[in-house]
């Protein structure tokens, strides 16, 4: 489970290419290479911790031991649980609002005209920059954190959805019309499935953004959660705990992204992939 510190940046950095799938006869050879890369990364980390130029880098073993301790003393799982429930709640609300609104934006010009300046404007503000405002207005309970995550997921998903609707092939809509489809039918049976690949990319990016935002939000104000635990560890100069936090964040982010990727592959398997 120690995927190594190499696997740090949250997965939302992946760009919005649709046909981003890897497959082919050499897949197993490449995944072997990937596994090897992880092992080498951990070995380098180990070597660095032995040489220890900074004088404080914990070894992978020390981090693993601390991981076990935190698991046994019952802090790690509740922390992860608190963080995950926040991120999933915020993500669900955010995308739940963004997808229908994105459809409306893509389908109705007036709706787009009204909403687009706002989505573009708020997209430029990192959700983290909203935290001070959210704390002042909503206190330090669950609400401001879930709000900030909701915002992060919402902004990414709404743009992806509306881009998806704009990108629906006109010929498919015309093909529907000449076969006698009403506007509602065209929307339900053509626009929705045709924009699904875009929405899935948006959801993956949204989930990545939510996860990154959450951890940062917990660093600032929380009584539980993985970010909170790292913040506490920082006070006590407890580097192994900080590393446990970092690795957990990376691994969980990766697992969530893979889950969405898997769902994407199954929901949009009709796509011609290159």
Partner 1 sequence: MTIQGAETPKIHFDHVRTVFELKGEPFVALDDFDLTIGANEFVTVVGPSGCGKSTAMNAAAGLLMPTSGVVHVDGEAVTGPGPERGVIFQQYALFPWLTVRQNIEFGLELQRIRKPERREISDRMIELAGLTGFADALPKNLSGGMKQRCAIARAYAVNPSILLMDEPFGALDALTRVRMQEQLLDTWAQEKRTVMFITHDVDEAVYLANRVIVMAANPGRIHRIIDIDLPYPRTEEVRLSTRFAELRNEVWNSVYHQQSAITKG
Distance of alpha carbon 185 from alpha carbon 151, whole angstroms: 31
Binding flag, residue 168, partner 1 (CB under 8 A): no
Which residue in the block uniquely carries the two structure tokens 């998806």? 164
CA dist 168 → 249, 261, 266 (Å) = 36, 21, 20
Query: Is residue 73 close enough to count as binding partner 1 by CB under 8 A?
Result: no
* Residue 82 contacts residue 224 (beta carbons within 8 Å): yes
Give the residue with the Cβ less far from partner 1, 11 or 176.
176
- Determine, following the binding rule CB under 8 A, whether residue 143 of this chain makes contact with partner 1: no
Crossing angle for the helix pair 239-267 and 76-107, to the nearest 10 degrees? 40
Contact between 271 and partner 1 (CB under 8 A)?
A: yes
Establish if 270 lies at the interface with partner 1 (CB under 8 A): yes
CB of 261 to partner 1, least distance (A): 18
Q: What is the dihedral of CA 117, 119, 122, 124, to 10 degrees?
A: -80
Q: How far is the CB of 196 from partner 1 (least distance, A)?
A: 8
Q: Which of 126, 177, 246, 261 binds partner 1 (CB under 8 A)?
A: 177
Nearer to partner 1, 133 or 263 (CB): 263
Nearest approach in angstroms of CB 193 to partner 1 is: 5
Stretch that binds partner 1, among 36-44, 53-61, 136-144, 179-187 (CB under 8 A): 179-187
Q: How many other C-beta atoms are found inside a 10 Å radius of the C-beta of residue 159? A: 22
**Residue among 266, 100, 265, 97 nearest 188 (CA):** 100
Instruction: Please give the Cα distance from 226 to 232 (Å, whole number).
Output: 10
Supply the DSSP symbol for 141: S
Residues 79/226, Cβ–Cβ less than 8 Å: yes
Instruction: Report the alpha-carbon distance of residue 30 to residue 8 in Å, rounded.
Output: 20
CB of 25 to partner 1, least distance (A): 19
Which of 21, 49, 185, 231 forms a contact with partner 1 (CB under 8 A)? 185
Q: Please, are residues 188 and 125 in contact by the beta-carbon 8 Å criterion?
A: no
Tell me whether residue 123 or residue 189 sits nearer to partner 1 (CB atom): 189
Q: Which of residues 31-60 bind partner 1 (CB under 8 A)?
A: none
Exactly one of 179, 184, 235, 266 binds partner 1 (CB under 8 A); which one? 179
Q: Please choose, out of 13-21, 33-41, 51-59, 173-181, the segment that lies near partner 1 by the rule CB under 8 A.
A: 173-181
CB 18 within 8 A of CB 198: yes
Contact flags string 188-227 toward partner 1, x per CB under 8 A? -xx--xx---------------------------------
What x/- string results for residues 99 through 128 when contact with partner 1 is judged by CB under 8 A?
A: ------------------------------
Give the distance, in angstroms, between the CA of residue 205 and the centroid of all CA atoms in the same chain.
5
> Could you list the residues that contact partner 1 (CB under 8 A)?
169, 171-172, 174-181, 185, 189-190, 193-194, 268, 270-272
């Amino acid at each position: 489970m120690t995927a190594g510190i190499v696997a740090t940046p949250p997965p939302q950095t992946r760009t919005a290419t649709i046909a981003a799938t890897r497959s082919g006869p050499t897949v197993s050879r490449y995944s072997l290479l990937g596994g090897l890369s992880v092992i080498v990364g951990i070995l380098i980390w180990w070597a660095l911790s032995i040489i220890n130029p900074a004088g404080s880098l914990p070894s992978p073993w020390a981090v693993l031991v601390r991981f076990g301790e935190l698991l046994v003393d019952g802090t790690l799982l509740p922390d992860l649980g608190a963080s995950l429930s926040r991120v999933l709640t915020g993500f669900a609300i955010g995308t739940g609002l963004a997808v229908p609104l994105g459809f409306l934006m893509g389908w109705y010009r007036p709706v787009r005209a009204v909403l687009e300046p706002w989505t573009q404007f708020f997209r430029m503000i990192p959700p983290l920059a909203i935290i001070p405002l959210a704390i002042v207005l909503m206190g330090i309970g669950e609400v401001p954190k879930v709000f900030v995550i909701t915002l992060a997921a919402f902004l990414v998903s709404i743009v992806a959805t509306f881009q998806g609707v704009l990108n629906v092939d006109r010929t498919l809509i015309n093909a529907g019309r000449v076969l006698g489809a009403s506007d509602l039918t065209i929307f339900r049976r053509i626009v929705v499935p045709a924009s699904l690949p875009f929405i899935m990319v948006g959801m993956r990016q949204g989930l990545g953004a939510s996860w990154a935002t959450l951890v940062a939000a917990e660093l600032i104000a929380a009584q539980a959660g993985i970010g909170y635990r790292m913040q506490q560890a920082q006070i006590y100069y407890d580097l192994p705990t900080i590393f446990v936090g970092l690795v957990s964040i990376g691994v969980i982010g990766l697992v969530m992204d893979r889950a969405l990727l898997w769902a994407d592959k199954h929901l949009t398997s009709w796509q011609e992939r290159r």
